[in-house]
Amino acid sequence: MKAMLCRVYGPPEQLEVAEIPLPAPAAGEITLGVRACAVNFPDTLVIQGKYQYQPPLPFAPGTDVAGVVLAVGAGVEGFAVGDRALALVPAGGYAEAVACDARTALRIPDSVDFVSAAAFQMTYDTAYHALVDRARLTAGETLLVLGASGGVGMAALELGKLLGARVIAAASSADKLEVCRAHGADEGIDYSGGDLRASLKAVAPGGVDVVYDPVGGALSEQALRSLRWGGRHLVIGFAAGDIPRIPLNLPLLKGCSIVGVFYGGFIANEPAHNLENKRRLLEWLAEGKIHPFVSQTYPLERAADALNDLLARRATGKLVLVMGEE
């Protein structure tokens, strides 16, 4: 089978198409014939050796997969060859097949296509865990989403609206904000000028209740300063590249909380809770309550192009690799 392998750490261009053996499922695993794999920002880090989790070289990146069960390992119940399924894997998704822990896999409802099933996983899983489990966002509160036009930002925007919040989308261009408004944002802020706080005062003079921050850099402190008393600043990631150094007198004076959201750690420490969340999101996806926005798909051989589009911030919503046919 074909896979896009990372043999040495470096930029997307160093990935190469290779023929590798079809993985056989170990006990407790299923082998999934991958039809779609989402492209995520952590993929750009793992191929450079800069992520919290590093699989041994050589490896295929990619974590959010959807496809058809090809084989079932010993002791697995609930799956049969031919079932449509999705899973989150530590690595290996940029390939025509991958072995998955059956406990982390779920069957795909008939109304959901493979691309949507792959696209919704890490982004919506992270956003739901952040907004519901960590921030305890309630109806009527105001949510500020930084990097709102990206995959994880769009998921937070949509879930925030579904949970009854007023959502302010912040992005780096007017075009990206137009996409955010089309997906339900109540207000939009273009932060390319640099003064996020002044713009927020115009649309939320009393401040915001929750900040969803996958960006980091200089925007984080500006956003935190815009929190109301008792607000929550969700630390999702650092797409800007810089990890901010927040003065700790700010949460003291504002009575606010800086809340870490490490979805990988949540999966490892609370697997049952994670699956409960995932099943609810899958139900919402099947019912049409959430709509992953996939702006572009790529064949497996163009994985480097997808990663570069992500790195250059040319993407809105999700990018997905597609293999085989629906």
**Cα–Cα distance for residue pair 214/233, rounded to 1 Å:** 11
**Cα–Cα distance for residue pair 227/187, rounded to 1 Å:** 16
Residue 211 has a CB neighbour count (10 Å cut-off) of: 30
pLDDT reported for residue 242: 83
Pairing mode of beta strands 208-213, 29-39? unpaired
Tell me the mean pLDDT per 10 residues along the chain, length 326.
96 95 95 96 91 89 96 94 95 96 92 94 94 97 94 93 96 89 92 84 93 92 94 91 88 94 91 92 94 93 94 85 78
pLDDT reported for residue 20: 95
Question: Is-contact 251 257, C-beta < 8 A?
Answer: yes
Domains of the chain: 2-120+293-322 (3.90.180.10), 123-264 (3.40.50.720)
pLDDT reported for residue 325: 58
Q: What is the DSSP string of 149-195?
A: TBHHHHHHHHHHHHTT-EEEEEESSHHHHHHHHHTT-SEEEEGGGS-
Pairing mode of beta strands 208-213, 294-299? unpaired
Give me the phi and psi of 68, to 5 degrees please: -120, 135
What's the sign of the alpha-carbon dihedral 102, 263, 291, 40?
A: negative
pLDDT reported for residue 241: 77
